Copies of this chain bind each other. A is one copy, B any other.
Amino acid sequence: MSILVVGSVALDTVKTPFGQAPEVLGGSATYFAAAASFFADVRLVAVVGEDFPDHHLEFLRARTVDLRGLQRVPGRTFRWAGEYGFDLNEARTLDTQLNVFADFAPKIPEEYRDSALVFLANIDPDLQREVLRQVRRPALVAADTMNYWIAGKGDSLRQTLRLVDTLLINDAETRQLAGEGNLVQAARKILTWGPRALVIKRGEYGALMFNGGDWFAAPALPLEVIRDPTGAGDCFAGGFIGYLANTMNFEDAGVRKAMIMGSVMASFNVEAFSLDRLRSLTYADIETRYRVFKRLAHFEAL
């Protein structure tokens, strides 16, 4: 089934202790779409400026991402610059230029409105609801957000959450959103606001899912080469939602496998700058790594 993703397409300038990449392909919707495209049809809604290089569009088209909803408008493309320290845990933002993204008003093309799954990447919660007003009864709505919206647009975010089935955020955001230091209590509280499932992304420590009183812990793969963590969370979401769209199995066992697929896609993405690892990735690579995760987490019953 098809996935609609709405978010940012950007040009990133990234520095890590292992090198730097100036003006490379980035953006939450880009990472999500590229990762999800290994599993399902992806329809993208975003905005770029006149300066956006054609070869980036060709890459996304080659990954069969539907770009009919990508607006190209006068002005410059959204730019983000960030730097990571040796622990690679958190980016320090050096520069943000919203440019054409400042006036982004997501317009869902008629042919996208029947998308079975919708992923609302990290954008203004007002715009997230604006997207949902334009689609017809999707089977699953998933959303991301960030500390900026939690702090600055809490009421709007709470309205959006009423319409969301699965919320994907990190652990600090979980605690901040709930106003609650204990992760279990925070998760419980958030599920009273709308979402049926909460996915808590924890970077090198993996991800947790809280789902109807039940927890699932997906490990992260210890990696010898981590070059650039940018986009790992969106690749996780892409693998997770992509796999759900592929199987349409929303039962517990299916969602657990989807969590591992998210972890698999994130683990590949951090191995190179920008989306470069995804350029050479094959489905066989993905299946092999899923098996590595199975081996990583497996233990027998008593």
Residues of A whose CB lies within 8 Å of any CB of B are 17, 86-87, 181-185, 187, 202, 204-206, 208, 210, 214-224, 226, 253, 256-257, 259-260, 287, 290-291, 294-302
Determine how close the nearest CB of chain B comes to the CB of A295; give it in whole angstroms. Answer: 8
Residue of B87, B216, B223 touching A299 (CB-CB under 8 A):
B216
Determine how close the nearest CB of chain B comes to the CB of A89; give it in whole angstroms. Answer: 11
Interface contact B215-A296, CB-CB below 8 Å: yes
Interface contact A181-B299, CB-CB below 8 Å: no
Give this chain's copy count: 2
> In the bound complex, what is the Cα–Cα distance between A298 and B298 (angstroms)?
7
Contacts of A182 in B (CB 8 A): 224, 226
> In the bound complex, what is the Cα–Cα distance between A257 and B299 (angstroms)?
6
- Given A87-B181, A182-B226, A257-B300, A217-B219 contact (CB < 8 Å): yes
> In the bound complex, what is the Cα–Cα distance between A259 and B298 (angstroms)?
11
A86, A181, A221, A253 interface centre (most CB from chain B within 10 Å): A181
Residue of B184, B206, B221, B226 touching A222 (CB-CB under 8 A):
B184
Determine how close the nearest CB of chain B comes to the CB of A194; give it in whole angstroms. Answer: 21
Residue of B206, B291, B302 touching A290 (CB-CB under 8 A):
B302
Interface contact B296-A301, CB-CB below 8 Å: no
Interface contact B302-A291, CB-CB below 8 Å: yes
Interface contact A299-B219, CB-CB below 8 Å: no
Contacts of A256 in B (CB 8 A): 298-300
Determine how close the nearest CB of chain B comes to the CB of A240; give it in whole angstroms. Answer: 13
